[in-house]
């Protein structure tokens, strides 16, 4: 691949960026925590350098106390945070990287209980995703805030940031001023379009005054709010023009407010599915424009760069710190691609936990999981080529150990081989491709279609055997169970499915199977569980979009019942609320009733032979079968061997 655009430098005032990729702002959940300071600095430093993103933008750094986004945010108004910022910029510069500070104010999205001061907004209107009614800003408050932005800009420059990004999208304070949905003021800061844009423009002017003429200012503006009664497409273009007129150096186009009910970055959104607004803005201004959302592949980035000046890729750098170095070195197959699952990044951020990555658990742990060859080379045998086993093999090999991997099926990939059949989970292919490439590159000996017996294992004289033998689907005890089909058969295309379907089990897999069937044109689907809610266990950022999609496609759900009997014609249940029996007709009944650990008997007494055994992933704990934990455990036993529990 000959890169024409990706590695073309771009000049922003005094700053030269060596390529056209910005690592977009992400809240990491490590900011402002003393314990996580080293983790935060190592995270950004690892992503810096000649072949790192042209520019990194930090997570939002609050310009004033009431604008904090919650726990673990940095603030320009806290002395000690300025010390951390200086350490951060020094470390990034030492690694030859470039980093911009995001000037942030949450407005009505702030939590007064966490911040200890009431939240504020242009008008006292509560957000639908929030309990608090913010206080209306007075004219004096607004003028003070402009000074806070200016002060933040001055401090950002003083502590060594190479640029600032003014956060004006995603429904935060500046966006709240811009939108008629949230700005009902009748003074000069609200009402008509000019008045609503006044705050954004005054912030830009104050920051420009503070940082001087040679310093780059990025303005992150919303290209599409995706909430009712908000800015119009015409207003969005007008705003971009005004920002250009008032000396923004580059426009970074955000999509969707946090309170929007339209999924914008989940796996179900096609790659670059929201690029249109950035293209429209690009046609209307002469300053550079950055496109964002679901751009996870350098080839796609290159294509977009024929129409845009830069692309923003945030989560893809969580998944692979060396994404651009690999692209430059023509090693695209080695890229660990972000699959847009949100499970270890956004879901963690919403839970107030430090961010990491499902496909790269080293993200956020770079300071303690250093990659250096082990002093003593171990012989490691991994049994099971699902994600837990593949990661255990990969990370041991990366640390210089000799690794053999056995997989009973004809291909490695485990549950991901099933998940990739779900229409919205095509990205899982990338993870399987990544592991295949890496295991080969690192010299892991892979044996497929083979279940070694204990003697074969002993013949390796292993220092460590990793049992990553995964799970088997649970077959509940229900009379007539033989008439039901376990979900793996359906997903691998071996089971016949009629027009009217019942799925027993309404967890993540039940929802996935529903998507699979919808794609095949089957819409009469009833998801059942005995107690509880549909889709329990799915991450916060994915669940609502997934359930909304299923509902829109006619999938129905019932709970509070017990299963009595499965027949070729359907399912007999008892309604636990009425105590009455009912017969639910169905052509096909599918079992998605969870999984059970799979540890074949032949391995059970291995530990008595004096070998270190580690059981990981679904084999260790099927109840919470989840890819995030499985991959994490695979890496952990390599990077923290002292934590291996000998079984
Ligand atoms: P799950 O989420 O634990 O759901 C299992 C379902 O089976 C439940 O609805 C449960 O409902 C039912 N069940 C359990 N024991 C049963 C029994 N003896 N008889 C009948 N029904 C029974 O498991 P899963 O759907 O297999 O998913 C496995 C894991 O993968 C979960 O952690 C899930 O979150 C994860 N996953 C995640 C995604 C994602 O997109 N993030 C997608 C797929 C899977 P009742 O007990 O109430 O009947
Ligand atoms: Fe991407 Fe999922 Fe990793 Fe987040 S956790 S960076 S969405 S692969």
CATH number for the domain that contains residue 452: 3.40.50.720
Cα separation, 63 vs 164, whole angstroms: 12
Are residues 491 and 460 located together in one domain of the fold? no
Portion of the chain with pLDDT greater than 70, in percent: 99
235 inside domain:
yes
Closest CA to ligand 1's atom 11: 529
pLDDT at 573 over 70: yes
Closest CA to ligand 1's atom 8: 505
Are residues 555 and 616 located together in one domain of the fold? no
pLDDT of residue 607: 74
Which strand (E) or helix (H) includes residue 250?
Answer: strand 250-255
Cβ within 8 Å of residue 495, ≥6 positions away? 485, 489, 588, 590
pLDDT of residue 609: 78
Helix (H, G, I), strand (E, B) or coil at 284: helix
Ligand found nearest the CA of 486? 1
| 306 has catalytic annotation | no
pLDDT of residue 543: 83
Ligand 2 mutation target, pool 27, 315, 539, most atoms within 8 A of CB: 315
Provide the pLDDT confidence category of residue 606 given band limits of 50, 70 and 90.
confident
Provide the CATH number for the domain around residue 324.
3.20.20.70
Are residues 408 and 525 located together in one domain of the fold? no
Are residues 602 and 565 located together in one domain of the fold? no
Are residues 410 and 508 located together in one domain of the fold? no
* pLDDT one-digit tens code per residue, 55-66: 999 999 999 999
Are residues 624 and 531 located together in one domain of the fold? no
pLDDT at 646 over 50: no
* pLDDT one-digit tens code per residue, 48-95: 988 899 999 999 999 999 999 877 899 999 999 999 999 999 999 999
Cβ within 8 Å of residue 529, ≥6 positions away? 504, 505, 506, 507, 510, 559
Ligand 2 centroid – CA 540 distance (Å): 14
Beta strands in 361-433 (DSSP E): 379-383, 402-406
426 inside domain:
yes
Contact by Cβ (8 Å): 316, 296:
yes
Cα separation, 291 vs 282, whole angstroms: 9
pLDDT of residue 493: 85
Domain closes at, from 577, 593, 609: 593
pLDDT of residue 540: 76
Q: What global pTM score does this model have?
A: 0.93
pLDDT of residue 275: 97
Are residues 448 and 556 located together in one domain of the fold? no
Are residues 499 and 517 located together in one domain of the fold? yes
Cα separation, 466 vs 390, whole angstroms: 11
4 inside domain:
no
Ligand 2 centroid – CA 342 distance (Å): 5
**C-beta 343 within 6 A of ligand 2:** yes
Are residues 335 and 398 located together in one domain of the fold? no
Residue-range definition of the domain harbouring residue 625: 379-473+596-643
State how far the alpha carbon of 514 is from the alpha carbons of 126, 484, 489, 510, in Å: 36, 16, 14, 6
224 inside domain:
yes
Ligand 2 centroid – CA 441 distance (Å): 23
pLDDT at 132 over 50: yes
Ligand 2 centroid – CA 253 distance (Å): 21
Q: Mean per-residue pLDDT for 623-643?
A: 88
**C-beta 323 within 6 A of ligand 2:** no
Are residues 195 and 319 located together in one domain of the fold? yes
Closest CA to 38 of 371, 366, 370: 366
Closest CA to 265 of 56, 180, 257, 626: 257
Helix (H, G, I), strand (E, B) or coil at 12: strand
pLDDT at 645 over 60: no
180 inside domain:
yes
Which atom of ligand 1 has the smallest separation from the CA of 534?
9
Ligand found nearest the CA of 321? 2
* pLDDT one-digit tens code per residue, 447-503: 999 999 988 999 999 999 999 999 999 999 999 999 999 999 999 888 789 999 999
Ligand 1 site: residues with CB under 6 angstroms?
Answer: 343, 474, 476, 504-510, 512, 529-532, 537-539, 542, 592-595, 624-626
Give me the catalytic one of 172, 563, 603, 632.
172
Provide the pLDDT confidence category of residue 187 given band limits of 50, 70 and 90.
very high
Closest CA to 256 of 140, 443, 129: 129
Provide the CATH number for the domain around residue 499.
3.50.50.60
Which atom of ligand 2 has the smallest separation from the CA of 342?
7
State how far the alpha carbon of 438 is from the alpha carbons of 130, 341, 409, 449, 474, in Å: 44, 21, 19, 20, 32
**C-beta 26 within 6 A of ligand 2:** no
Portion of the chain with pLDDT greater than 90, in percent: 86
26 inside domain:
yes
pLDDT at 647 over 50: no
12 inside domain:
no
**Count of domains forming the chain:** 3
166 inside domain:
yes
Contact by Cβ (8 Å): 229, 251:
no
Ligand found nearest the CA of 430? 2
Are residues 147 and 214 located together in one domain of the fold? yes
Are residues 238 and 345 located together in one domain of the fold? yes
Backbone conformation region of residue 103, classed left if phi is above 0, alpha if psi is from -120 to 50, else beta: beta
- Rounded to the nearest 5°, which phi and psi values hold at 218? -95, 140
Ligand 1 centroid – CA 591 distance (Å): 10
Which atom of ligand 2 has the smallest separation from the CA of 358?
5
Q: Which residue has the higher pLDDT, 484 or 642?
A: 484
Which atom of ligand 2 has the smallest separation from the CA of 340?
7
pLDDT of residue 625: 57
* pLDDT one-digit tens code per residue, 583-593: 999 999 999 99
Q: What is the mean pLDDT of the chain?
A: 94
Q: Mean per-residue pLDDT for 143-162?
A: 98
Q: Mean per-residue pLDDT for 177-181?
A: 98
* pLDDT one-digit tens code per residue, 249-274: 999 999 999 999 898 988 889 999 99
């Amino acid at each position: 691949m000959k890169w024409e655009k990706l590695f073309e430098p771009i000049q922003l005032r005094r700053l030269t960026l060596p390529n056209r990729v910005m690592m977009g702002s992400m809240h990491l959940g490590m900011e402002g925590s003393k314990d996580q300071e080293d983790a935060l600095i190592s995270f950004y430093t690892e992503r810096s350098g000649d072949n790192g993103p042209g520019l990194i933008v930090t997570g939002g750094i609050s310009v004033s106390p009431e604008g904090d986004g919650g726990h673990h945010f940095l603030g320009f108004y806290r002395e000690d945070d300025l010390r951390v910022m200086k350490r951060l910029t020094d470390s990034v510069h030492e690694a030859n990287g470039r980093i911009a500070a995001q000037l942030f104010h949450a407005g009505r999205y702030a939590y007064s209980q966490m911040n200890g001061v009431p939240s504020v907004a242009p008008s006292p209107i509560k957000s639908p995703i929030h309990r608090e009614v913010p206080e209306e800003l007075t004219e004096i408050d607004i003028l003070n805030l402009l000074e806070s932005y200016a002060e933040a800009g001055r401090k950002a420059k003083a502590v060594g940031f190479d640029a600032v990004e003014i956060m004006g999208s995603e429904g935060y304070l500046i966006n709240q001023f811009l939108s008629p949905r949230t700005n009902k003021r009748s003074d000069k800061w609200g009402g008509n379009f000019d008045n609503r844009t006044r705050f954004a423009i005054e912030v830009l002017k104050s920051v420009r005054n503070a940082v001087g003429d040679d310093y780059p200012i990025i303005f992150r503006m919303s290209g599409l709010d995706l909430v009712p009664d908000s800015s119009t497409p015409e207003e969005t273009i007008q705003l971009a023009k005004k920002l250009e007129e008032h000396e923004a150096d580059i426009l970074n186009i955000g999509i969707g407010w946090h309170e929007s009910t339209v999924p914008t970055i989940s796996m179900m959104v096609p790659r670059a599915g929201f690029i249109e607004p950035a293209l429209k803005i690009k046609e209307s201004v002469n300053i550079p424009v950055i496109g964002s959302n679901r751009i996870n592949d350098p080839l796609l980035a290159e294509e977009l760069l024929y129409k845009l000046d830069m692309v923003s890729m945030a989560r893809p750098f969580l998944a692979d710190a060396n994404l651009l170095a690999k692209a430059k070195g023509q090693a695209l197959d080695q890229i660990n691609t972000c699959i847009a699952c949100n499970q270890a990044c956004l879901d963690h951020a919403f839970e107030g936990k430090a961010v990491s990555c499902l496909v790269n658990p080293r993200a956020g742990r770079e300071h303690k999981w250093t990659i250096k060859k082990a002093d003593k080379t171990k012989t490691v045998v991994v049994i099971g080529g699902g994600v837990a086993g593949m990661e255990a093999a990969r990370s041991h090999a990366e640390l210089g150990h000799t690794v053999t991997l056995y997989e009973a099926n004809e291909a490695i990939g485990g549950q991901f081989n099933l998940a990739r059949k779900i229409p919205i989970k095509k990205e899982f292919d990338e993870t399987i491709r990544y592991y295949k490439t890496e295991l080969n590159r690192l010299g892991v000996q892979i044996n497929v279609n083979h279940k070694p017996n204990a003697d074969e294992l002993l013949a390796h004289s292993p220092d460590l055997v990793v049992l990553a033998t995964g799970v088997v689907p649970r077959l509940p005890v229900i009379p007539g169970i033989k008439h039901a089909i376990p979900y793996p058969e359906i997903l691998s295309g071996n089971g016949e499915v009629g027009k009217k379907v019942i799925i027993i089990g309404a967890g993540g897999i039940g929802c996935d199977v529903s998507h699979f069937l919808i794609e095949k044109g089957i819409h009469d689907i009833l998801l059942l569980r005995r107690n509880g809610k549909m889709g329990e266990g799915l991450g916060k950022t994915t669940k609502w979009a997934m359930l909304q999609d299923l509902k829109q496609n006619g999938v129905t759900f019932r709970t509070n019942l017990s299963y009595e009997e499965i027949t070729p014609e359907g399912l007999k249940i008892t309604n636990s609320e009425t105590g009455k029996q009912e017969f639910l007709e169905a052509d096909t009944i599918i079992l998605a009733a969870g999984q059970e650990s799979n540890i074949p008997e032949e391995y059970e007494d291995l530990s008595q032979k004096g070998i270190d055994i580690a059981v990981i992933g679904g084999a260790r704990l099927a109840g919470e079968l989840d890819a995030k934990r499985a991959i994490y455990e695979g890496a952990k036993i390599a990077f923290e061997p002292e934590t291996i529990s000998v079984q």
